Amino acid sequence: MNSISAAASAGTGSGSGTGTETGTGTGLSGERFPVRERFPVWKDKFSLVSSMIQRQDLAFVQVPMQTTVAFITHLRDLEGYAHLVFFTAIDYIEDGIFRLTYMLHNYRRHHDLGVQVDIPREDAGMESIHHLWPHGATYQRELKEMYGIDFPGSPGVDESFVLEGWHDIPPMRREFDTKEYSEKTYYPRPGRVTYDPTEYMKEKLYPSEAETW
């Protein structure tokens, strides 16, 4: 354990190349990677909005829309976050935003970093990252289909992904009424019948008790 943590905490430095960091670890014991120490730097360079350390191997940071792709590029090329684990969205309909999360992984430090950005729900769109990771295009195609978030220039972004022949609004948007859609589309099999326990028990156990009339 000691050797692992020593190796993992070796390096908070300003990287000098893709996936190669130097510097000496000053991490707290038990903390693999003192990501906290990077926050002021990121705040300074990329206007970090907020940060949260979830576990010793997972943190979330939020950045404005304008600096997001620059920040992610920086993380990939200079801070070792070479892998895009997933890219997803959450619909905060009450706040009028989508929150995008780019989950990045640093193999050397065994550290995950979730980069979050809030974008307006209205005419939702975001700069593409397909040039950073080709499979980013797949996530973006899915986000376009499921949430209606556009990524101009992303290959195949307007093609159907899993919803061939879909004509409704994107189904993961919260204004989409799943129940209504399913009732319209998938009607119950004919001949199905069900009984309500309360009513059924009344009929069986006390059909003639006057106070229940």
Partner 1 sequence: MSLKDIVAPFSVWKRAFEKPYTNRKPLDTRPGAPRYRGFHINAVDTCIGCGTCEEICQNEAIDLVPVKETRHGDSGLRPKIDYGRCCWCALCVDICPTGSLGMSNEYIWIDDDPEVFRFIPGYDEKSWNHAELGYRRAEGYDLLEGQRVGMPMLSFEESRKSFVEMVQGFSAEQAKAEADRCIACGICVATCPAHMKVPEYIKAIRDDNMAEGLKIVYNANPLPASCGRVCSHSCEYVCAVKHKGEALSIRWLKRYIIDQIYLGDYQKILDEGEPDNGKRVAVIGSGPGGLSAAYYLRLLGYQVTVYDANERAGGMLRYGIPEYRLPYDQVDKDIEYIRSLGVDIRQNTRIGADVDFEVVYRDHDALFFSTGLTDPYGLDIAGEDLPGVLSGLGMLDDVTEGRKPDLGASVVVVGGGNVAMDAARTSRRYNAEVTILYRRREEDMPADDEEIHEAQGEGCLLITQAIPLRIEKGDTTRLKLFWGRAEMVSDGPGRRPKPVLIEGSEEVIACDTVIPAIGQAADYSFLPEETAARLTFKRGYVEVNEFHQTAEEKIFAGGDIANPKRDAISAIANGHSAAKGIDIYLRLLQKERATF
Given the rule CB under 8 A, which residues bind partner 1? Answer: 186, 188-189, 192-198, 200-202, 204-206, 208-213
Report the DSSP beta bridge partners of residue 92.
97
Question: 126 to each of 5, 54, 67, 98, 193, how far by Cα in Å?
Answer: 37, 26, 11, 11, 49
CB of 163 to partner 1, least distance (A): 18
CB of 195 to partner 1, least distance (A): 5
Minimum CB distance to partner 1 smaller for 123 or for 186: 186
CB of 88 to partner 1, least distance (A): 21
Minimum CB distance to partner 1 smaller for 162 or for 205: 205
State the DSSP string of 31-75: -SS-GGGGHHHHHHHH---EEEEEETTEEEEE--GGGHHHHHHHH
CB of 196 to partner 1, least distance (A): 7
CB of 178 to partner 1, least distance (A): 9
Q: Which amino acid type is present at position 46?
A: F
Minimum CB distance to partner 1 smaller for 165 or for 188: 188
Q: How many Cα atoms are found within 13 Å in the side-chain-facing hemisphere of 188?
A: 5
Minimum CB distance to partner 1 smaller for 1 or for 210: 210
CA distance 115 to 88: 11
DSSP state letter for 195: -
Minimum CB distance to partner 1 smaller for 26 or for 195: 195
CB burial class (10 A; 0-12, 13-18, 19+) of residue 200?
exposed
Minimum CB distance to partner 1 smaller for 122 or for 211: 211
- Pairing label, strands 50-55, 58-62: antiparallel
CB of 183 to partner 1, least distance (A): 9
